[in-house]
Amino acid sequence: MENIAFEALLALIDDLTDEQRATFIKVLDENKDFDKVATLLDNRILAKRECLYCKSSNVKKWGRQSGLQRMRCFDCGKSFNALTGTPLAHLRKKEEWIKMAAALKDGLTVKDTAEKCNSSISTAFRWRHRFLKAMKGDVAEHLEGITEADETYFLESHKGSRNIPRKSRKRGGKATKRGLSSEQIPVLIARDRTGGIVDAVLPDQSKKSIKVVLGGKISKENILCIDGGNALWGFACEGNIPCRVIPASKHVHERNPIFHIQNVNGYHSRLKNWMSPFNGVATKYLPNYLGWRRMLEKPKPVLTPVAWLQAAAKPARQ
């Protein structure tokens, strides 16, 4: 802007009403937040300078698209930006994204998130799950050394669905049948002593389902600590994975106290306590909440809103 025009703009500020002044400040702040998000995302793509499609380095800046740097590949002819192929592609109002990331970091309810992000409750809910999509599949590639594995259970919930196969329960509710039943959804969590985590919602309690989740992530190099459940025991035997069974009545292995499942059971408790204010999470969203909790368990310095945004703006792994 020319200096003369800028001075004219400054002179106009004196004539603003209080309401206009507040709007003006809000617009300036939003621009700042939008630029911050765009710069963060652009930096990533500019640092890599590699085609998203064919990995060629023959790429050049090619204008802007939705506030982001657009790149064009001169080998395959395709263009892309930092959000192409990520769950955040085409999501609007980037100026609110840092606040959304902060809401996830602080574990806010949908209502509080909506207030913080100046959005409706339905938008806040939709954004939450778009942000969590990339984190959902971001589990450890391999688990190291002593690894504790155990299942925990969540009451099945059709919250938010139009077709509910039974009379709905109120706010989370209780199972109608005692003990384990089809109403209880098994969740497997495996955790090594470095904090590496692999988790998943299981379709059933079979050895085959455990193998789909842990296969390739645990090997003969690990020592698996379990509480003696048939499926995990069967999985360990089949893969010749050294295994220590800690009976539910004991806290540690009888002969060597280094073998126990207290870390994974502690994780189960933290997961359940943290989820209780959400009042019965719909089963279809359970994997997203597992990813959210996994991110919260990372070392504290990692947990800035910017880190949360970067984690959300990655291609989703299944």
- 62 near Zn ion, judged by CB under 5 A: no
Nearer to Zn ion, 56 or 283 (CB): 56
The DSSP element (H or E) to which 68 belongs, if any, is strand 68-73
- 72 near Zn ion, judged by CB under 5 A: no
Task: Please name which of 187, 203, 202 lies closest in space to residue 271, comparing C-alpha atoms.
Answer: 187
Q: Which of 16, 28, 54, 258 binds Zn ion (CB under 5 A)?
A: 54
Q: Which of 33, 34, 50, 53 binds Zn ion (CB under 5 A)?
A: 53
CA dist., res. 244 & res. 255, Å (int): 10
Helix/strand/coil for 262: helix
- 56 near Zn ion, judged by CB under 5 A: yes
- 51 near Zn ion, judged by CB under 5 A: yes
- CA 208 from chain centre, in angstroms, equals 26
Q: Which of residues 233-292 bind Zn ion (CB under 5 A)?
A: none
Q: Which residues pair with 71 in a beta bridge?
A: 61, 80
Nearer to Zn ion, 73 or 261 (CB): 73
Using the contact rule CB under 5 A, the part of the chain among 51-59, 194-202, 265-273, 298-306 near Zn ion is 51-59
The DSSP element (H or E) to which 184 belongs, if any, is strand 184-192
Long-range contacts formed by 209-213: CB under 8 A, 24+ apart: 210/234, 210/235, 211/235, 211/238, 211/239, 213/188
Per-position x/- string for 73-102, each x denoting binding to Zn ion as judged by CB under 5 A, each - no binding: x-xx--------------------------
Smallest gap from residue 80 Cβ to Zn ion (A): 9
Query: How many residues does this entry show for the chain?
Result: 318
- Identify the residue whose tokens are 């999501």: 91
Nearer to Zn ion, 60 or 250 (CB): 60
Contacts with Zn ion by CB under 5 A lie at 51, 53-54, 56, 73, 75-76
